[in-house]
Structure 1
Amino acid sequence: MKRKAMGWVVAGAVMLAVACQVSAQPSPGSDSGVAASGAESNVKATKAANRKLRRDVLRALAKTPGLNNERISVRANGGAVTLSGSVPVADQIQKAGDAARQVSGVSSLSNRITLRSYN
């Protein structure tokens, strides 16, 4: 009886060792190095898209007649754009928001521009 129990213990230990070794191996067709570089390239692509959207919004602000965009900053994150800074005339806040909304790729806008005189 002891011999039979000992056999089951050994068999269980062997199965456990094999299971641990198999789970530590990468699955066929997937390479952990490829996955890491894929994630890295995805992050780079996202950052590049955010930079492009930011530049596009800045360009649109610069082309907007009657808008002093010298003190306006733009942040873009996945289509969400935030305008901040200040303008000298109140109606320019609305002009900046309208110009940013017209840019392709802007999915939401947070307009945090304030009114400040530049004396």
Structure 2
Amino acid sequence: MFFAPALRATRFTPRAHDRAFERFVNDAFAGTARRSPLVEQDDKSWTLSLDVPGFAREDLSIGIEGAVVRIKSKADAKRQFKAAYELPLDIDAAASEAKLENGVLTLKLAKVVPVSQVSQLQIN
């Protein structure tokens, strides 16, 4: 006879594959499946492309705060849409642009160039 002791934990922690299955079921049956945007990157900017069929320019609002871009539909729009994406570096809102064409929202988000705050210290 083989005996394998059972280890008891003080609190329940679900395993990673359980959470992956839970996300799959929620996305499949919730009716609002989250779609990740197509992201392209170069030295100066990121380009995000999202499918938002049925929305007009007036229906969407885009907000940029630091490294987070938030896209949501206005309250009076026919449908509701809400998404937020966090990028690795801050976004320069003044140099960024958005374009909606044939149901595809394309955001060209300029990167903020980090300024080095290093100062030299003289050795005595």
Range into which the TM-score falls when normalised by the shorter chain: under 0.3
TM-score (norm 1): 0.25
Is the helix fraction higher in 1 or 2?
A: 1
Length-normalised TM-score, structure 2: 0.24
